[in-house]
Amino acid sequence: SSTAGNVKRMHMELGGKAPVIIFDDADIDAAVEGIRTFGFYNAGQDCTAACRIYAQADIYDQFVEKLGAAVSSIKYGLQDDPSTELGPLISAQHRDRVTGLVERAMAQPHIRLITGGKAVEGNGFFFEPTVLADVQQDDEIVRREVFGPVVS
């Protein structure tokens, strides 16, 4: 009872690197649309963002192509523009962290950049909506939460 006055109500987020599994018999267009939405809402700054995708080999290339096309159409910009789908990251420091993770991933010879991949020049802490393909389970981009608009 002497400590009860100091106990704080809290909420713990236990998500991170939320995986999505796409099987050969999946509706690829529906999966792409879902990831376009749920991988990039709040600029990917959410612990439940659909940021780690596993697709079966028979549909992998088709899925990557369709996802890249869909993600490249995401409009980023200021929140007061009604056509904006993707806002900025929270700070310059965080944008630099996301940039570093993506640059280190792209330095790996087996990883392909499908779309995006860099910070946006100008005002704001924007990072292009990004899709990386052919990542491996032990790659940093798979193991660490990016917390930005990056799907691998």
CA distances from 125 to 34, 91, 131, 139 (A): 25, 6, 19, 25
Q: Catalytic annotation on 51?
A: no
Q: Are 104 and 90 in contact (CB under 8 A)?
A: no
Catalytic residue (one of 13, 51, 65, 85): 13
The residue from 33, 47, 85, 128 that is catalytic is: 47
Angle between helices 28-38 and 57-72 (to 10 degrees): 50
Report the C-alpha gap between 140 and 3 in whole angstroms. Answer: 41
Annotated active-site residue 47? The verdict is yes
How far apart are alpha carbons 113 and 152 in whole angstroms?
Answer: 9
| Distance between CA atoms of residues 41 and 116, nearest Å | 16
Interatomic CA distance for residues 27 and 107, integer angstroms: 32
- Catalytic (active-site) positions: 13, 47
